[in-house]
Structure 1
Amino acid sequence: MNRAAAAIFLAVLCSACPKRIEFGPEGQLTDAEVVYQRVRRNQDNVVSLEGDAKLRVESPQQSGTIGMFLSVTRPALLHLETFDFFNRPLASLVADGTRFGLYQTETHTYYQGPASPQNVSRFLPVVLPGEELVAIMLGQVPLIPPERMTLELDTKEGVYVLTLHRGTARQVLQVHPKYLRVVKSQVHGVPGYDLAFDDFLERGNLIFPGKVELIAKQAGTKLQLRYQQIKLNGRPDLTLYELTPPEGAKVVEVDDSGRELPAGAPESPAPPVPGS
């Protein structure tokens, strides 16, 4: 066998071999409930983040990358600033769980109104509730409440596969065997989106993904957030969440659908909560 053939044979042979799996201090886990609880604990211990990131958007409407400064604190405090290629400010959005404010630099206009999913997602081509958006930015996966769950070990990919079932809904989680953090989440049976996490950082006893991806297949949209310099679980600067229009800005009131209201008109009431 010549050298080229031998190299090809070894490459094929190695590609078929299962990955060497490095488990955490507890060794290999075989109980689905234990893995589920470890995942919840490990992602819930990050409560705030502040720093810089790059946001990559791919959608039928637009594609491109912008710089961001962000400060997010659970459950729904949100401060986002976007910048162009030359680091010039484009817009800033603040939400406190009840109200939101959006300042657009080019038009010197400040939009304000209820912190509805349509309003807090104005930077994005997908609509997410504020609490869900904050959770995803903190590297967390919204989990369906399981009626039952199963656990497998995928030796080829080197991950646990934890599947949560609730009625017709199914959420398949690929879980890092050492960090016990979700690396991929896929939802089936109900409308939803997929999540992927990578480039994990170790910050003391915290494990945090440096890259977050959201894929909305039906909308043909992918968002990728790459963190650069960030601080986790620091004391939040609450002044970042103050809803104050910049001096001299034109102030526009919007309803919970993001529609502009006539000057002096009351906001439309929020839709009733089912069962209330």
Structure 2
Amino acid sequence: MNRAAAAIFLVVLCSACPKRIEFGPEGQLTDADVVYQHVRRNQDNVVTLEGDAKLRVESPQQSGTIGMFLAVTRPALLHLETFDFFNRPLASLVADGTRFGLYQTEGNTFYQGPASPQNVSRFLPVVLPGEELVAIMLGQVPLIPAERKTLELDTKEGVYVLTLYRGAATQVLRVHPKYLRVVKSEVRGVPGYDLGFDDFLERGGLIFPGKVELVAKQAATRLELRYQQIKLNGRPDLTLYELTPPEGAKVVEVDDVGRELPAAGHESPAPPVPGS
């Protein structure tokens, strides 16, 4: 056999071999409940995040990438600032679980109202409750309350496949065998979205995904959040979550779906606020 033929043979042979799997200190796990508890514990140990990121949006309504500064604290404290290509501020959004505020530099206007899913998701083409949005940004997967669980080892992909069942709904979790962190979540049987986590970083003993991806197939929407300089589990700066309009800004009250409420003396509501 000549060298070229031998090389091709080795490539074909190796491609058929299962991926070498590196397990954690407990070795290979075979109990679905044990893996589930590890997943819960490992993703719940991140409580706060502060730093810079890039957000990539692909949807029928808009596509592009923006820079962000963000600070999030469980369960529902949220502070987001967006910047254009030249790092000029575009807007900032703050929510404390009950109320939200949105300041738009264009127009010097501060919108405030209830922290409803429609209001806290204004930077996104998908609508998520505040607690769910904070959890995803912290690298966590919202888990369905399972009635039963199954576990398999996918030797080709080199991951555990943990499946949660509740009625007609299933959630398939692909779990890193060493870090015991979810790398992919797919929900079927009920309306939902898929999540992907990659580029895991180690920060002070914590394993955290440097990339978070959300795919809403029904809405033909994909979001990708790439973290840059971040700090985990630091003491939160609570001033970042204050709902105070900038001095001189026009203040507008909105309802839970983002519609501007009528000012005193007016009877009909104005159209929805931009981004609602």
Which interval holds the TM-score relative to the shorter structure?
Answer: over 0.9
In structure 2, C-alpha distance between the alignment counterparts of 1:115 and 1:14, rounded to whole Å: 53
Deviation of 1:12 (Å) = 2.0
Deviation of 1:2 (Å) = 3.5
What does the per-residue CA deviation read over 1:96-148, in whole Å, with 9 as the maximum and x for residues that have no partner? 00000000111111110000000000000000000000000000000001000
In structure 2, C-alpha distance between the alignment counterparts of 1:270 and 1:46, rounded to whole Å: 41
Call closer, same or farther: CA 1:146–1:55 in 2, change over 3 Å.
same
What does the per-residue CA deviation read over 1:205-236, in whole Å, with 9 as the maximum and x for residues that have no partner? 21100000000000000000000000000000
In structure 1, C-alpha distance between the alignment counterparts of 2:250 and 2:273, rounded to whole Å: 33
Secondary structure of the corresponding residue to residue 102 of structure 2: strand
Deviation of 1:6 (Å) = 2.8
Secondary structure of the corresponding residue to residue 218 of structure 1: helix
- Contact map agreement 2:261 2:269 (CA 8 A) in 1: no
In structure 1, C-alpha distance between the alignment counterparts of 2:94 and 2:50, rounded to whole Å: 14
Deviation of 1:266 (Å) = 11
Deviation of 1:267 (Å) = 13
- Contact map agreement 2:19 2:158 (CA 8 A) in 1: yes
Secondary structure of the corresponding residue to residue 219 of structure 2: coil
Call closer, same or farther: CA 1:55–1:273 in 2, change over 3 Å.
closer
Deviation of 1:16 (Å) = 1.5
Deviation of 1:13 (Å) = 1.8
Overall identity of the aligned pairs, in %? 91
Call closer, same or farther: CA 1:234–1:60 in 2, change over 3 Å.
same
- Contact map agreement 1:160 1:175 (CA 8 A) in 2: yes
Deviation of 1:11 (Å) = 1.8
Count matched residues: 276
Deviation of 1:3 (Å) = 3.2
In structure 2, C-alpha distance between the alignment counterparts of 1:118 and 1:72, rounded to whole Å: 18
Secondary structure of the corresponding residue to residue 215 of structure 1: strand
What does the per-residue CA deviation read over 1:166-216, in whole Å, with 9 as the maximum and x for residues that have no partner? 000000000000000000000010000000000001112211000000000
Call closer, same or farther: CA 1:154–1:217 in 2, change over 3 Å.
same
RMSD of aligned Cα (Å)? 4.3
Call closer, same or farther: CA 1:271–1:104 in 2, change over 3 Å.
closer
Deviation of 1:253 (Å) = 0.8
Secondary structure of the corresponding residue to residue 14 of structure 1: helix
Call closer, same or farther: CA 1:40–1:56 in 2, change over 3 Å.
same
- Contact map agreement 1:148 1:166 (CA 8 A) in 2: yes
What does the per-residue CA deviation read over 1:241-261, in whole Å, with 9 as the maximum and x for residues that have no partner? 000011111111110011111
Call closer, same or farther: CA 1:213–1:272 in 2, change over 3 Å.
closer
Gaps of 5+ in 2: none
TM-score, reference length from structure 1: 0.95
In structure 2, C-alpha distance between the alignment counterparts of 1:146 and 1:220, rounded to whole Å: 28
In structure 1, C-alpha distance between the alignment counterparts of 2:135 and 2:270, rounded to whole Å: 23
Deviation of 1:5 (Å) = 3.1
- Contact map agreement 1:121 1:128 (CA 8 A) in 2: yes
Call closer, same or farther: CA 1:86–1:219 in 2, change over 3 Å.
same
